């Protein structure tokens, strides 16, 4: 029996050490800080957008990353009576740094933004298909593609972004750049 006594004592000591360590872990009242404690869930992350045009209070506003264009316009007091929101994609998800331009109806006197001109140039973010058709090298089909692209992806950040539209290459873009503006 003395031969088995030493291994039993070693096992008993190990078991006691494990029990003691376990008791200390459960007894500790300090809560662990999660590794991602500095990161807020996506729905709480703030982004900044600029709402301009025919809204009650145009300006730069902080929004939740998960909100839509419609909510940004509402935060700015909503559209004015002369606003033409039919050309604004209200369901579009917001992106940090984006500009949302709410045009005026043509029959309401139409602002320069709605009329799609800026210093004699055609405004590619607010122009309708008919107005875009006036750009050099752009016909009715290409104008339709530009509007579809804009509705799907949001406003163009620069005139050069037109190159993302199927069918607009470097040569056509160079011609368009002369008459287009944001």
21 domain residue, yes or no: no
pLDDT-derived band of residue 118, with 50, 70 and 90 as boundaries? Answer: very low
pLDDT at position 12 is 76
The more confidently predicted of residues 82 and 48 is: 48
20 domain residue, yes or no: no
The last residue of a domain, from among 110, 131, 164: 110
87/136 same-domain check: no
Quote the domain boundaries for residue 49: 38-110
Summarised one tens digit per residue, pLDDT across range 56-87 is 899 999 999 999 999 999 999 999 888 888 88
pLDDT at position 96 is 93
pLDDT-derived band of residue 31, with 50, 70 and 90 as boundaries? Answer: low
| pLDDT exceeds 60 at position 101 | yes
pLDDT at position 172 is 92
Count CA atoms within 13 Å of residue 178 on its CB side.
Answer: 10
Q: What b/e string do you get for 138-175 counting C-beta neighbours within 10 Å, with b at 16 or more?
A: beeebbebbbebbeeebbbeebebbeebeebeeebbee
Please tell me the total count of domains within the chain: 2
182 domain residue, yes or no: yes
Which pair of structure tokens corresponds to residue 115?
């009329």
Determine the average pLDDT of the residues in 155-174: 90
13 domain residue, yes or no: no
pLDDT at position 181 is 83
Count CA atoms within 13 Å of residue 104 on its CB side.
Answer: 15
120/91 same-domain check: no
132/173 same-domain check: yes
| pLDDT exceeds 90 at position 166 | yes
pTM of full prediction above 0.75: no
Q: CATH number of the domain that 171 lies in?
A: 1.10.150.320
Strand 46-53, strand 99-102: pairing: parallel
Q: How far is CA 31 from CA 34, 35, 158, in A?
A: 9, 12, 50
């Amino acid at each position: 029996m003395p031969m088995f006594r030493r291994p039993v004592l070693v096992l008993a000591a190990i078991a006691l050490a494990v029990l003691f360590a376990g008791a200390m872990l459960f007894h500790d009242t300090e809560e662990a800080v999660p590794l991602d404690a500095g990161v807020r869930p996506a729905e709480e992350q703030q982004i900044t957008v600029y709402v301009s045009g025919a809204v009650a209070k145009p300006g730069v506003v902080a929004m939740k990353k998960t909100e839509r264009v419609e909510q940004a316009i509402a935060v700015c007091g909503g559209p004015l009576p002369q606003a033409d929101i039919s050309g604004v994609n209200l369901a579009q998800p917001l992106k940090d740094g984006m500009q949302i331009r709410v045009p005026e109806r043509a029959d309401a006197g139409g602002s320069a933004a709605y009329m799609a001109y800026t210093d004699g140039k055609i405004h590619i973010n607010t122009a309708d298909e008919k107005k875009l058709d006036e750009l050099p090298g752009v016909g009715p089909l290409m104008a339709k593609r530009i509007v579809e692209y804009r509705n799907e992806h949001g406003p163009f950040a620069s005139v050069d972004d037109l190159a993302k539209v199927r069918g607009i290459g470097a040569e056509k873009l160079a011609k368009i750049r002369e008459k287009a503006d944001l």
